[in-house]
Amino acid sequence: MLFKYNPQNTKELHNAALNCLRHTRLYAYSYCCIGHTELNGTLHVFISKDKSNNLCLPKEGYSLFYIECSLSDKRVSQNKEIRDLMQAVVRHKINRLAFNNYHTTPTIDLGIYILVNKSNLNMLTKEYITPTNNIDSVGHIILCKPVRAANGLFSLDFLFDEKEALKELGGLQNAVFTIIETTPPITKKSLFRKHSRGYSQLSAEYSKHETTTKNTITESIEREEAQSNKQAEAGVEPHQLSHTETITYGINFLTEVSLAFENLCTKYH
């Protein structure tokens, strides 16, 4: 982990903030298990960007949990260590200055990594950790990272490699790590692109059919005109369609076009 706006003091800033968090009022709102102790006593940690669900199940001994929590603007303003941490990762200078004043200090969200013994798993409930004034009573926190500031209004900018941070700052040099690759979620935009191809193909098919139909009608009209000209040259009065025949012809034509379009829709539904 590297704090871009105070890189030379990353470790010192992190450790100072971590010690402060041990006895600061936190509001935990989500957590998941990301590691457990194997039968041989080795801690097995699973690395994934998706922490919406448990990456593993707790076992005997210690399990590693990732907890996201919020700190009120009051708590942030009262703890210089937390303010120093945030000022090292907030991107814009004007936003960093907000942490210097009690009235402009924002709320923040942090992600904490905590080792919890099996005997304390029953403490991972809303009653114990929302809020908690002593997270150390639940387990031993080994790592923290900024997640949001001012409900996401302040952009954060820092380098974070979860595996390396857990090893270097969290003291898990002897742990075994398994990286879980995650597939990006399908967005509405990609769904539109996926289905728009079928729509384009359908439109192309319909346009092709429409062009063919127009060509056929044009050829038919040209043939009728040629026939009428021949009849006129021979002194034969050309046949005129009655009103009823004209309507019938139009209805038949529209029916054929409607059926053709319906078949195309059925084919690409």
Tell me the three-class secondary structure of the chain, residue by residue: CEECCCHHHHHHHHHHHHHHHCCCCEEEEEEEEEEEECCCCCEEEEECCCCCCCCCCCCCCEEEEEEEEEECHHHHHHCHHHHHHHHCCECCHHHHHHHHCCCCCCCEEEEEEEEEEHHHHHHCCHHHHCCECCHHHCCEEEEEEEEEEHHHCECECEECCHHHHHHHCCCCCCCEEEECCCCCCCCHHHHHHHHHHHHHHHHHHHHHHHHHHHHHHHHHHHHHHHHHHHHHHCCCCCCCCCHHHHHHHHHHHHHHHHHHHHHHHHHCC
Number of domains in the chain: 2
257-266 tens-digit pLDDT: 666 666 665 6
212-250 tens-digit pLDDT: 555 655 665 566 566 656 655 655 555 555 656 566 666
In this structure, are 103 and 206 located in the same domain?
no
* Residue at which a domain ends, from 162, 179, 196: 179
In this structure, are 44 and 90 located in the same domain?
yes
pLDDT band at residue 1 using 50, 70 and 90 as cut-offs = confident
- The β-bridge relationship of strands 140-149 and 158-159 is unpaired
In this structure, are 45 and 175 located in the same domain?
yes
Judge if pTM exceeds 0.85: no
In this structure, are 88 and 208 located in the same domain?
no
Give how far Cα 94 sits from Cα of 5, 91, 147, 225, Å: 13, 9, 19, 80
* Residue at which a domain ends, from 131, 153, 179: 179
* Residue at which a domain ends, from 124, 145, 179: 179
For residues 129-163, one letter each, b for 16 or more C-beta atoms within 10 angstroms of the residue's C-beta and e for the rest, the string is bebbeebeebbebbbbbbebbbeeebebebeeebe
In this structure, are 219 and 133 located in the same domain?
no
- Full domain range(s) for residue 73: 2-179
In this structure, are 162 and 251 located in the same domain?
no
In this structure, are 205 and 242 located in the same domain?
yes
**Res 253 pLDDT > 60:** yes
Side chain identity at residue 263, one-letter code = N
In this structure, are 245 and 175 located in the same domain?
no
In this structure, are 99 and 67 located in the same domain?
yes
Which pLDDT score, from 0 to 100, does residue 193 have?
47
Q: Assess contact for 133 and 23: CB atoms under 8 A.
A: yes
Q: Assess contact for 155 and 92: CB atoms under 8 A.
A: yes
153-189 tens-digit pLDDT: 999 999 999 999 999 999 999 999 999 987 665 554 5
Name the nearest CA neighbour of 17 among 102, 100, 75, 94.
75
Look at the block and give the residue holding tokens 């700190």: 71
18-47 tens-digit pLDDT: 999 999 999 999 999 999 999 999 999 999
In this structure, are 99 and 163 located in the same domain?
yes
In this structure, are 59 and 169 located in the same domain?
yes
66-107 tens-digit pLDDT: 999 999 999 999 999 999 999 999 999 999 999 999 999 999
In this structure, are 238 and 162 located in the same domain?
no
